[in-house]
Structure formats: structure tokens, C-alpha cells
């Protein structure tokens, strides 16, 4: 475990994380800061807590949409057994049509 400091919305937060996750945490903190700054410019809100809440909601909704897209995409892909079954049915139909 490594101890790192991430800077979010003007405050430092010490975190402990496995070495394999340190870079991702730093990137995530940077993404949060960028979105925080965007919302700070976009809305006339000075309270950092409110802006952080809006930022958290933004990322949570993006994650929910991404998960839903993955579920939908998984349902659209036919399984190998379905494809094989349809192929077999197609061959049978071809045989019957040739008679």
C-alpha cells in the first residue's frame, strides 16, 4: 500500500492505495477537478460542497449510463449457440426447398 495525497477542489486528501491503483486515483482526482472547475464556471455557485455534490452526481450518472449501455450491448449480441442453431435451421430449410 502506498500513501498518496490527492488535491480535490482546493483540499488535500491523503489516501492509501495499492501501487497498481495510484496512477488511476491521480487521474480520477484530475478528472474530478476538471469537472468541478467546469461547473464552477458554468453555475453561479460558490459553495465548494454544492459544486462537489453536482460533480459527484455527474460522474455517478455517467457511470449508470455506461453500465446500462453495457447491459444493452450484451443483450444485442447473439450467443454462439443461437447462431449455430439458426445456421442449422437455415440448412434444414435449404434442404427442404431443394426437394
58-85: per-residue pLDDT in tens?
988 886 556 666 666 666 666 777 778 7
Highest-confidence segment of 30-34, 47-51, 89-93? 30-34
For the whole prediction, is pTM greater than 0.85?
no
Question: What phi and psi, each to the nearest 5 degrees, are found at residue 10?
Answer: 85, 5
Q: How far apart are the first and last CA of the chain?
A: 71
How many other CB atoms are found less than 10 A from the CB of residue 34?
A: 11
Q: Is 91 exposed, middle or buried (0-12, 13-18, 19+ CB in 10 A)?
A: exposed
Amino acid at each position: 500500500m502506498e500513501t498518496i495525497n490527492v488535491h480535490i477542489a482546493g483540499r488535500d486528501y491523503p489516501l492509501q492505495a495499492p501501487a497498481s491503483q495510484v496512477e488511476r486515483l491521480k487521474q480520477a482526482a484530475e478528472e474530478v477537478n476538471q469537472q468541478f472547475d467546469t461547473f464552477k464556471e458554468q453555475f453561479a455557485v460558490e459553495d465548494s460542497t454544492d459544486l462537489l455534490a453536482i460533480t459527484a452526481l455527474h460522474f455517478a450518472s455517467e457511470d449508470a449510463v455506461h453500465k446500462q449501455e453495457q447491459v444493452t450491448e450484451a443483450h444485442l449480441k447473439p450467443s454462439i449457440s443461437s447462431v449455430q442453431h439458426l445456421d442449422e435451421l437455415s440448412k434444414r430449410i435449404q434442404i427442404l426447398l431443394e426437394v
